[in-house]
């Protein structure tokens, strides 16, 4: 068994943080001594990776009867003892494993002796000082190397397209095995099962190496030395100092002071630019607010602000006693009890299982059109012709 997922160290210039240190090199040293904080979501993701590794080792890697028995017991023990395991994780991991198996079968169809590697440690030091990563799945067959990465979270969609993390994994895999195999093409796939998302980016090895030399190496050199310019952007989302970074503050304050041309009313072009500014301002304001709240909770004074008790809703301490009291008072049931209702579809999938639910009442489930929303042009969803045409008869109240 490989090193436990949760125990793996993170390099200063980790692959997972590549989007940040490539775009804002000095942020690496700036945040170097700030402790990492693991959320419940991160722990849940770690558990999903552990389970998927066990199942994949059992299903697609060569192993003798003793090893198969050990893996079967390990899966059973995980399912019994891991607090994050449940119907949703079981289904999500099963979907991910199925996709990996399909890709492996496709690789074997090209090359009978296709190679599969799981949780492989990857050396990235050819391009990034002291850096390494871990490839969830590596497939090598007939000139093609494929990296497959599991993203268990469902809060933020993650695409393989132009993704620096998975590109670095691909570089590490090519560096480890390129001298053994004639690899000409790189396939990089991210599977996000709880969002039903599978995305793949394809590059020639020459294109990948050119990106490494022109983009990664210069940025890594600056980042390792603590040099370069601070730059705010979408990469700030995962930065440890995103709330107090002065470069981000300056960029947002500059956006606030946006000067408009005459006449008195803004044009639609100006409105469009303001919407982009508003999005980044909302994210920044939320980060600053969360930071100030945590500092106040820790006993630090935030000038002009104070912690107070928030509003709360009244609650019944013991509902069983309350129910018996109502019964004794012969109060009609419908005056204190809600009728039983079906759980929501998401909760039903957790309790029954996604595939089982579809088999039982799949023909009764429908997805109505979503309410129209305004998004940047780069969003992949098709543009509506008009609200009147595309949502005729729908109630948006």
Residue that terminates a domain, selected from 200, 225, 250: 225
Determine the structural domain holding residue 340 and report its residue range. 319-364
Same-domain status, 208 and 354:
no
Q: Give the neighbor-by-neighbor strand order of the sheet with 197-204.
A: 115-123, 132-141, 144-150, 185-192, 197-204
Total Cβ atoms within 10 A of residue 45: 19
Q: Residue 127 sits in a domain of what CATH number?
A: 3.90.320
Please state the domain count of the chain: 3
Same-domain status, 23 and 116:
yes
Same-domain status, 48 and 133:
yes
On whether residue 285 sits in a domain, the answer given is yes
On whether residue 198 sits in a domain, the answer given is yes
Same-domain status, 256 and 111:
no
Residue 220: phi, psi to the nearest 5?
Answer: -65, -40
Same-domain status, 185 and 130:
yes
On whether residue 148 sits in a domain, the answer given is yes
Same-domain status, 171 and 84:
yes
pLDDT by residue for the chain (397 residues), tens only, comes to 445 554 444 679 999 999 999 999 999 999 999 988 778 999 999 999 999 999 999 999 988 999 999 999 999 999 999 999 999 999 999 999 999 999 999 999 999 999 999 999 999 999 999 999 999 999 999 899 999 999 999 988 999 999 999 999 999 999 999 999 999 999 999 999 999 999 999 999 999 999 999 999 999 999 999 999 999 999 999 899 999 999 999 988 887 776 656 667 778 888 888 888 888 889 999 999 989 998 888 888 888 888 877 777 888 888 899 889 988 988 888 877 887 778 888 888 888 888 888 888 888 888 887 777 767 777 777 877 654 544 455 554 5
Q: Are 173 and 120 in contact (CB under 8 A)?
A: yes
Same-domain status, 290 and 327:
no
Whether the predicted model's global pTM rises above the 0.85 cut: no
On whether residue 270 sits in a domain, the answer given is yes
Same-domain status, 157 and 70:
yes
Same-domain status, 269 and 221:
no
Taking the C-alpha atoms of residue 172 and residue 306, their distance in angstroms, rounded to an integer, is 49
Residue 118 three-state SS: strand
């Amino acid at each position: 068994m490989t090193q436990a997922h949760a125990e793996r160290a993170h390099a200063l210039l980790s692959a997972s943080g590549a989007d940040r240190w490539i775009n804002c090199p000095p942020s690496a040293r700036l945040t170097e001594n700030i402790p990492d904080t693991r959320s419940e979501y991160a722990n849940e993701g770690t558990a999903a990776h552990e389970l998927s590794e066990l199942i994949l080792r059992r299903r697609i890697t060569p192993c003798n009867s003793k090893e198969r028995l050990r893996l079967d017991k390990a899966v059973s023990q995980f399912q019994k003892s891991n607090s994050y395991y449940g119907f949703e994780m079981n289904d999500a991991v099963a979907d991910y494993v199925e996709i990996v198996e399909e890709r492996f079968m496709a690789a074997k169809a090209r090359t009978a002796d296709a190679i599969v590697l799981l949780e492989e440690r990857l050396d990235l030091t050819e391009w990034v000082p002291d850096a390494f990563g871990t490839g969830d799945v590596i497939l090598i067959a007939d000139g093609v190397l494929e990296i497959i990465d599991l993203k268990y979270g469902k809060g933020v969609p993650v695409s393989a397209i132009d993704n620096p993390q998975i590109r670095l994994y691909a570089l590490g895999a090519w560096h480890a095995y390129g001298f053994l195999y004639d690899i000409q093409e790189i396939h990089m796939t991210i599977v996000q099962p709880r969002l039903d998302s599978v995305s793949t980016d394809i590059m020639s090895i020459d294109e990948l190496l050119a990106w490494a030399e022109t983009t990664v190496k210069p940025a890594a050199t600056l980042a390792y030395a603590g040099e370069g310019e601070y730059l705010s952007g979408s990469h700030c989302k995962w930065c440890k100092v995103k709330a107090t970074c002065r470069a981000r503050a300056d960029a947002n304050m500059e956006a606030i002071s946006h000067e408009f041309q005459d006449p008195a009313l803004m044009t639609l072009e100006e409105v469009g630019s303001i919407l982009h500014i508003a999005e980044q301002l909302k994210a920044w304001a939320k980060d600053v607010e969360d930071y100030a709240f945590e500092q106040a909770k820790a006993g630090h004074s935030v000038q002009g602000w104070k912690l107070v008790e928030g509003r709360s809703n009244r609650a019944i301490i013991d509902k069983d006693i309350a129910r018996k009291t109502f019964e004794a008072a012969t109060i009609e049931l419908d005056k204190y009890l809600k009728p039983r209702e079906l759980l929501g579809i998401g909760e039903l999938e957790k309790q029954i299982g996604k595939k089982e639910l579809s088999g039982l009442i799949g023909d009764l489930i429908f997805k109505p059109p979503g309410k129209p929303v305004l998004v940047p042009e780069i969003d992949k969803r098709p543009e509506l012709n008009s609200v009147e045409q595309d949502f005729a008869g729908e109630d948006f109240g």
